[in-house]
């Protein structure tokens, strides 16, 4: 098994594959103004097993294309959509977020929770903008510094994992520079890291290691997750995901 298969095994059956919560998705929906509109077309990019996709489908009058690189996650989403009677509203697309063949100006909203880092925030907001209708909504969550200064250990870890980590004001300046009007922002609360993401993950470590005979490879995945969790527990005051809601500005 390669690392990717192990990561799918560790995260595939989870409720979510990154920090976030149903309440956060609902809050972003509120800020977006999408609830007032009908017959929406939405792409949920890097949807994983679809926690946000299911919330969008339940809440909005929308057709949603749920995009992820990993078919295993999309299969899990399809199972849940079917169990919840939401299949009619959701189609899945296995594709890379940096090579999407979506029609220009076809979407009312581009949604992406905890995933845009895979192609980089700036690259993502630039390359997804053409898919939005004029006035369409971009709603993305992205690793964000909460303070101008931070403990060196934290800065070093995240800067080496993700060079684009920055403060909300820097992210908003990028949105403005690339043709969006920011209309809402909030940092995810600690519960959206601990209760919905890290704690359930910690509960899976034992079975995961046992399934893989405590291999060094599986152990190293668990070690690196444990390191990330310990950093978060010590430094939650300095870092979170920021949820950015922005409107496409007229060209
Ligand atoms: N939005 C989900 C998943 C976040 S984890 C949630 O909040 O739970 C990031 C997701 O991005 C994973 O599902 C991963 O498979 C997906 N991903 C990684 N690289 C990708 C790429 N190049 N294109 C599309 N999806 C990608």
Residue 155 has pLDDT above 90, yes or no: yes
Report the CATH number at residue 51. Answer: 3.40.50.150
Output the average pLDDT for the chain.
97
Residue 13 has pLDDT above 80, yes or no: yes
- Asked, for residue 203, whether it belongs to a domain, the answer is no
Tell me what the mean pLDDT of segment 220-240 comes to: 97
Ligand 1 proximal residues by C-beta, below 6 Å: 16-18, 20, 46-48, 51-52, 68-70, 73, 96-98, 113-115, 118
Q: Can you tell me the distance from the alpha carbon of 118 to that of 167, in angstroms, rounded to the nearest whole number?
A: 18
* Percentage of the chain exceeding pLDDT 90: 98
Tell me what the mean pLDDT of segment 149-178 comes to: 97
How remote is the C-alpha of 105 from its chain's centroid? 22
Residue 251 has pLDDT above 80, yes or no: no
114 CA to centre of ligand 1 in angstroms: 7
Side-chain half-sphere CA neighbours of 99 within 13 A: 4
- Asked, for residue 23, whether it belongs to a domain, the answer is yes
18 CA to centre of ligand 1 in angstroms: 9
Q: CB of 249 within 8 A of CB of 179?
A: yes
Total domains in the chain come to 1
pTM above 0.95, yes or no: yes
Q: How confident is the model at residue 201 (pLDDT cuts 50, 70, 90)?
A: very high
Pairing mode, strands 40-45 and 107-112: parallel
- Asked, for residue 224, whether it belongs to a domain, the answer is no
- Asked, for residue 142, whether it belongs to a domain, the answer is yes
Mutating to test ligand 1, I would choose from 28, 53, 68, 102 the residue with most ligand atoms within 8 A of its C-beta, which is 68
Which ligand 1 atom sits nearest the alpha carbon of residue 48? 13
Tell me what the mean pLDDT of segment 151-177 comes to: 97
Which ligand 1 atom sits nearest the alpha carbon of residue 47? 1
Mutating to test ligand 1, I would choose from 46, 114, 161 the residue with most ligand atoms within 8 A of its C-beta, which is 46
DSSP string for residues in 11-63: HTTSS-SSS--HHHHHHHHHHHTGGG-SSEEEEEET-TT-HHHHHHHHHSSEE
- Asked, for residue 19, whether it belongs to a domain, the answer is yes
Q: What is the domain range of residue 118?
A: 14-147+162-189+239-248
Phi-psi region of 123 (alpha: psi -120 to 50; beta: other; left: phi over 0): alpha
- Asked, for residue 221, whether it belongs to a domain, the answer is no
- Asked, for residue 225, whether it belongs to a domain, the answer is no
- Asked, for residue 228, whether it belongs to a domain, the answer is no
Q: Which has the closest alpha carbon to 45: 87, 82, 95? A: 95
If DSSP codes are grouped into helix, strand and coil, which group holds residue 165?
coil
């Amino acid at each position: 098994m390669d690392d990717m298969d192990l990561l799918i095994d560790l995260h595939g059956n989870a409720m979510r594959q990154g920090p976030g919560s149903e309440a956060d998705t609902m809050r972003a929906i509120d800020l977006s103004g999408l609830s007032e509109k009908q017959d929406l077309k939405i792409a949920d990019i890097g949807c994983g097993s679809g926690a946000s996709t299911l919330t969008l489908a339940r809440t909005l009058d929308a057709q949603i294309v749920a995009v992820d690189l990993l078919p295993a996650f999309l299969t899990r989403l399809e199972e849940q959509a079917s169990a919840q009677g939401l299949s009619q509203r959701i189609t899945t697309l296995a594709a890379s977020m940096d090579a999407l063949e979506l029609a220009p100006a076809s979407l009312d909203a581009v949604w992406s929770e905890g995933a845009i880092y895979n192609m980089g925030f700036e690259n993502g907001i630039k390359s997804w903008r053409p898919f939005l209708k004029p006035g369409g909504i971009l709603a993305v969550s992205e690793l964000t510094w909460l303070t101008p200064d931070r403990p060196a250990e934290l800065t070093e870890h995240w800067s080496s994992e993700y060079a684009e980590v920055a403060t909300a004001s820097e992210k908003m300046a990028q949105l403005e520079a690339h043709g969006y009007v920011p209309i809402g922002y909030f940092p995810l609360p600690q519960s959206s890291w601990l209760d919905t993401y890290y704690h359930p993950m910690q509960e899976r470590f034992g079975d995961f290691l046992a399934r893989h005979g405590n291999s060094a490879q599986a152990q190293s995945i668990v070690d690196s997750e444990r390191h990330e969790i310990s950093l978060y527990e010590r430094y939650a005051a300095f870092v979170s995901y920021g949820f950015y809601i922005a409107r496409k500005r007229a060209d």
